Structure 1
């Protein structure tokens, strides 16, 4: 058994089948991030039923909110891993600019019975989910927690995410954009395309049709892939996987056929097929139905 365990949150968007495979040998724990619709609160473990409720809430114009796990949720996980014999934990989480999850983990780490290295990924979704997956494999090779934390942070810094949101309405109801801006966006039928920079959502383009938004998303992705192919990054840590511009994943919210088509149209010769999977409820709550997220490493 590895002496280092990995902890993350459900915002990492690791597909269920992949997650079960990684957890089969232990050493990986996912702390759920609750979703609240009206007076009802759901967690990640309720799976498809949560997503169905979110879709219905968006259709009815209801407010969908998310919250960060309390420090106690992380404390329980860290104690559990210590009791299982792990000597340290690397805890990788959603950008602290977008959620208090990182701070909850940091508070819990201060009183954990074993050393816990808490990483602010500075990003969202599978952009850090893929880092979690890589960290699990590296931990099983016997890498120390100190080195593994440094590698995980470097991987996060080299993960790129572009996204397309079909409407600003869901973001408005979740409190992620000013209501006045959202109303203008709805009036003009803006379909924002953006990325994550310094841990924050940044809108790069504001097209007014889904076709234009998808085209911009594809162009951004292709440009970033080619840039990385022609300008390899120098890694500070020799064990850090080289970011070569691989299209890691295409993630969606209720528009799986669109994601499949988008990935097929974007596929580059010789590229390994990207992971195609749904966004988790905690992210779907803010994106609304029809969102696409592209992850590159």
Structure 2
């Protein structure tokens, strides 16, 4: 069975095949593969049979938070629920990503507009997401922003205790942005393959140990103000034209990886570090590129990733969500990588 629907410049393709990777490879040769998924129909049928309900479509549903920076087409294609963090501007509470887009927020930052305060999602937001997702899934895997960076994990745990009738397995990604997003994406793919929640969580935790995000900022001012990198306050030693390269430990704490002078040298340093960490032939790997009001930084980075790792390597791109942008500052950008083998 093959169904092709055209919407503007986008083709939506649905087909039944025993070789989904071959289909994905073929489609990449025709254009940009924005999002894709491969679902095990036998697993879907088994979930419906076990639940006795026609509304249950999958064994495991996946939820993440707005700081995952997962592009909307990807989240929608895989049915990944997104719980928003909070922004407070002038006493008004806004839902990160939902009430204000990343692009709009970046424009405000570039115009030196007032910056908001930020906070984790409320437990109530997670409860709502759990109950909604549970109408279509037997159990849930929730992959969230690292607990060393935010109280999001604590909110997700508190919410799970409020809905004991829903089976919830929460994974601390120890990450942020597309590192968290790609881990959630992998969880969704494993769910589509029919794995149970415990096995999915274990695999995501294993993959995280081989994955990371490296990023640079135009200035450390916002990160220091956020209280997340106080120990780096004097790290640049007064050399204001040096740009830091930062990353995350497996537990989610911020680590300084190096520094370089000038944009090209920073770019090379980050890409060299990525290649050193995963090797030039990483097997199954994904990359994610994120920026704060600096999309021009991503094109040469993507080109170099494809030169080093192959033209067919999967690369997601996304503007940083407003909560993350608030702490990183305008001009920040980064490379996340997830090694799945």
- Tell me if both proteins adopt one fold, taking TM over 0.5 as the criterion: yes
Partner of 1:293: 334
Unaligned segments of structure 1, at least 5 residues:
230-242
What is the distance in 2 between the residues matched to 1:180 and 1:279?
A: 22
**How far does residue 255 in structure 1 lie from its aligned partner after superposition?**
1.4
**Preserved contact between residue 5 and residue 81 of structure 1 (Cα < 8 Å):** yes
- The structure having more radius of gyration, on CA atoms, is 2
In structure 1, the residue matched to 2:68 is 12
The 2-side partners of 1:185 and 1:87 are apart by: 54
Question: Equivalent residues in 2 for 1:32-111 (5 A)?
Answer: 32-43=84-95, 44-48=97-101, 51-57=103-109, 59-60=111-112, 62-82=114-134, 84-111=135-162
Higher strand share: 2
Relative distance call for 1:66 and 1:183 in structure 2 (3 A) is farther
Residue aligning to 2:277? 224
Q: 1:20 to 1:79 in 2, by over 3 A?
A: closer
Following superposition, the deviation at residue 195 of structure 1 comes to: 1.1
1:278/1:15 CA distance change after superposition, 3 Å: same
1:31 CA displacement: 0.3
CA distance 1:189–1:176, shift in 2 (3 Å) = farther
Structure 2 gaps, min length 5: 1-56
Q: Measure the CA separation in 1 of the matches of 2:235 and 2:272.
A: 28
Q: Which one of 259, 262, 273 corresponds to residue 209 of structure 1?
A: 262
Please report how far the alpha carbon of residue 20 of structure 1 lies from its aligned counterpart in structure 2 after TM superposition.
2.3
The Cα of 1:77 is off from its aligned counterpart by 1.6
TM-score by length of 2: 0.73
Rounded to whole Å, the distance in 2 between the matches of 1:2 and 1:271 is 33
Given the superposition, is the C-alpha separation of residues 181 and 55 from structure 1 closer, same or farther in structure 2, using an over 3 Å criterion?
A: farther
Higher mean C-alpha displacement, 189-198 vs 265-274: 265-274
Say if 1:245 and 1:286 are closer, same or farther in 2 by CA, change over 3 A: farther
Where 1:166 maps in the other structure, the secondary structure is: coil
RMSD: 2.6
Aligned-partner SS, 2:162 = coil
Distance 1:182 1:61 in 2: 27
